[in-house]
Structure 1
Amino acid sequence: MMIYDLTILSLLPNTLGAVMPILPQTYRQFSSTGTPLGAFACEFGTLNRFAFLTAYETIEALMQERSRLMTEEDAYGVGQYLGGVTTTAFKPLAFAKPIVPGTYGPFYEFRTYSLAPFGLAETEAAWAKIIDRRNAMSPLLTNMASIEDGPQTMVHIWPYATIEARMAARAQASKEGIWPPPGGSGKLTNLQSELFVATAFSDLK
């Protein structure tokens, strides 16, 4: 099963002008053992943040990359502009299709849900029953659950060509009573939504 890493680079204020020319190179060299899939700038949410999505074929490949990051002084090439870095490993849920680079956006909604202990199975089962109908309204890029120590999170990413398309799809799903997935909220403890825009150099556009 593919493993996905989601790394968030948080920039210091007023550094975008200096960082933007560097980020294409950062993306191309983002991982020594994984495959970069996408790079996204936060449009609505906590600003000055870039999300990098990378695929790994094995846990061992991911651990090898993390070991490299621990030994390099400026692994991303933007160290002097960084205010913080978070990195989380995920496994896709059973119904999630493999992520294939392509043009789906440029808007990508990242929804992060915190799960109660042992809450993933119930949540995943509820989603699996309804996801095909929801995909017919607008396709899910992926839904994945964290495999790190600590409280588990679930991140699902939805691409949209326009903000209006997002609003229309969500309104239709709500009208038909399929969203949120019936029975899929009982184990959720916190919900967060942020809107990102694919960068010009991202493979996911």
Structure 2
Amino acid sequence: MTLYDLVTLTVKIGANAQVFENIQARGDAPGSKLLGCWYSDIGTLGQVLVLRGFDSEASLIAERKRMLLEGNPFGCGEFITDVKIDSYALFPFLPPIEPAVHGGIYEMRVYGTKLASLQHTIDAWEKAVPERTRRTPLVGAMYALDGAVPRFLNIWPYASVDERSRIRAEAVKDGIWPPKGGPAHLTTMESTICVPAPFSPLR
């Protein structure tokens, strides 16, 4: 799978448990695979994020149409106040995202890039990722197919917030991250620290 969507639900206060139950029951749509479910802990609070992989472009589009026309994502309509759906394509040098146990927290980082800079960014990441992932795994990096473009999402797991700070600082100090020339092409940066739901395949 190289096509993904990230569904962000803004959840009513106190409704996380019911939302998790519904997502667990309905997360796999035809042609898709539920890969992760998290709730935001640092950043914009009150959000539940759902990552799914799709076996084809047709499956992704069909599921998007179904969700829009049905208007009840994962059967959670009564428990949410807003929904956002973003589609992504995996950086071509990375393996497909698979369920795994990493523990602790996940960081969802979204970068905007300058026009005509996306391929440069992918090339720079391809050179830098092997050394960076000796410090901590990269779940995935993928570029947006819709919404504000060009932008890309990268997902990093850590044992804790403290470990995240330490590893990132060491990677910068050792000169292995960020990718050489990468920051010059960025226009925006956004980060959310998330905690996996108990049933999340990525946790």
Normalising by the smaller structure, the TM-score range is over 0.9
User: 1:54 corresponds to which residue?
Assistant: 52
Identity %: 31
| Kept after mapping to 2: 8 A contact 1:24/1:201 | no
- Give the equivalent residue in structure 2 for 1:82: 80
- Identify the residue that residue 179 of structure 1 maps to in structure 2: 177
Is 2:25 the counterpart of 1:28?
A: yes
Correspondence for 1:106 among 80, 88, 104: 104
SS in 1 for 2:184: coil
- Counterpart contact for 2:86–2:147, Cα < 8 Å: no
Which amino acid is 1:29 matched to? R
Q: Which residue of 2 aligns with 1:125?
A: 123
Distance, in Å, in 2 between the alignment partners of 1:129 and 1:66 is 34
Q: Is the CA contact (8 Å cut-off) linking 2:8 and 2:50 kept in structure 1? A: yes
Q: Name the CA shift for 1:73/1:176 in 2 (closer, same or farther; >3 Å).
A: closer
Normalising by the residue count of structure 2, what TM-score does the alignment of the two structures yield?
Answer: 0.93
> Aligned runs of 1:57-72 on 2, under 5 Å?
57-72=55-70
Partner of 1:133, secondary structure, is helix
Partners of 2:36 and 2:94 in 1: CA distance: 17
1:108–1:158 contact (8 Å) kept in structure 2 = yes
Give 4+ residue runs of structure 1 displaced > 3 Å after superposition. Answer: none
Structure 1 counterpart of 2:114 = 116
Q: Please give the alpha-carbon distance, in whole angstroms, between the structure 1 residues aligned to 2:100 and 2:27.
A: 19
RMSD: 1.5
* Structure 2 residues without counterparts, runs of 5 or longer: none
Q: Does the residue aligned with 2:100 lie in a helix, a strand or coil?
A: coil
Q: Which runs of 5+ in 1 are unaligned?
A: none
Q: Per-residue displacement from partner, 1:35-56 (whole Å, max 9, x unpaired)?
A: 1001000000110101100000
